[in-house]
Amino acid sequence: MNLLNFDSRQCERTRRQMDAYLSNELLVETTDEMLRHLENCEACSRELQSRMRIREALQRAAARQPLPEGLGEALHQRLKKAHRRPFWASGGPTWALAVAVAAMLAIVLVGGRQWSNLEHARQMVHNILTLGVSDHLHCAIRGHNYPEVANSPEVLRKKLGPQYAELLPVVEKKLPGFQVLEAHICTVPGSPRKYVHFIARGKGTILSVILTEREGKALPQGRLVAASSFGNVNFYEKQLEGMSVAGFQVGGYFGFVVSDLSQHEMGQLAEGLAPALQTALKTEGNQASQSGGLAPSRTTS
């Protein structure tokens, strides 16, 4: 190994710092000092160029590496299969364990015959709560469809239209600590489903209150899968895609409260909102079909 003859300590320092410089990890002052040296030192500046050339070549070569055909598709299939696997085999989150424990108890208490009903109900809850979470993620989080400064109540009422304008004060009142920034009617691409969407900010995050038409679907009425029940309304809670969601059924709608706050908090807000929304939807009349939280018969075979 032949050591180069550096004419100054500065060169040695510069070489030592070059790695951090390349990774943009040097302090501003140190960078300045280094750049000043590079201006006057041809050897060091050549050396830096060499290192940059390798780095760029590596980035370029890596970017040109082809992805194997069908990798995305294969992965998709595997993920889908994994998703369909029974939840107790997935090493899933604690709520799954809680549900599993509840389910085991249910078997002991009500017998195996009820088991498939329960499992079916659980799946239904999952599917319906997923609607709320995906609407929240799609419109509020990824779409960022809300202003930094809240729209005025007049604007929001207009956006909601006469049918839903009266829900605005209800939602505002029942979300203590939150400010409603935006309210509108959302459509789901590729589906006839529409939903009323309130986006609020508070407690350092964004929260959605969503009312979506039930289209004949219903949350199961069994108390075993519900997190709580209040009046004649059952509440369902879940963690999905990093979000907490609480869902309930009012009139012809499913209601959801979604955010990344705690599940408990979503449940509490939902319990406050549901009766008020139910009343408001009833006086609104026509749309809220009289079923008032009572579901049509279950579709279990």
Partner 1 sequence: MPHLAALYRSAKFLVHNAAEAEDLVQDVYLEALKSFHRFEPGTNCKAWLFRILFHRLHHLRRRLLKSSLEDAFTDQDSVAAEPPVPQEIKDEDVLAALDKVPLAFREIVLMADVEEFSYKEIAEALKLPLGTVMSRLSRGRKLLREGLSEVAKSYGIGTSANDATGEELA
How far is it, in rounded angstroms, from Cα 120 to Cα 69?
37
Q: Which stretch binds partner 1 (CB under 8 A): 87-95, 111-119, 191-199, 228-236?
A: 87-95
What's the rounded Cα separation, in Å, for the pair 50 and 53?
5
Nearest to partner 1 of 138, 194 (CB atom): 138
Which residue among 32, 39, 40, 57 contacts partner 1 (CB under 8 A)? 57
Q: Which is nearer to partner 1, 57 or 294 (CB)?
A: 57
C-alpha closest to that of 278 among 248, 298, 258, 257: 248
Q: What is the smallest separation between the CB atom of 119 and partner 1, expressed in angstroms?
A: 20
Q: Does 98 bind partner 1 (CB under 8 A)?
A: no
Using rule CB under 8 A, residue 28 touches partner 1 = no
**Interacting span for partner 1 (CB under 8 A) from 67-75, 105-113, 126-134, 272-280:** 67-75
Q: How many CA atoms lie within 13 A of 269 on its CB side?
A: 31
- Provide CB contacts within 8 A for 156, sequence distance 6+: 168, 180, 182, 183
Binding region for partner 1 (CB under 8 A) out of 20-28, 106-114, 182-190, 208-216: 20-28
Q: Which of residues 176-235 bind partner 1 (CB under 8 A)?
A: none
Near partner 1 in 139-168, by CB under 8 A: none
Alpha carbon separation from 140 to 150, 169, 186 (Å, rounded): 14, 20, 11
55 scored as a contact of partner 1 (CB under 8 A):
yes
CB of 118 to partner 1, least distance (A): 23
Neighbours of 176 (CB within 10 A): 9
Question: One symbol per residue from 253 to 292: x for binding partner 1 (CB under 8 A), - otherwise; what is it?
Answer: -------x--------------------------------
Under rule CB under 8 A, residue 84 binds partner 1: no
Three-state DSSP class for residue 122: helix
Task: Count other Cβ atoms within 10 Å, centred on residue 174.
Answer: 19
**Shorter beta-carbon distance to partner 1: residue 57 or 101:** 57
CB 204 within 8 A of CB 265: no
Residue 14 CB, shortest distance to partner 1, in Å, is 10
| CA 200/CA 226 separation, integer angstroms | 26
The string of DSSP codes covering 147-182 is -SSPPPHHHHHHHHHHHHTTHHHHHHHTSTT-EEEE
Chain residues binding partner 1 by CB under 8 A are 1-4, 6, 12, 15-16, 19-20, 22-23, 25, 47, 50-51, 53-55, 57-62, 64-65, 67-68, 71-72, 74-76, 78-79, 82-83, 90-93, 239, 241-243, 260
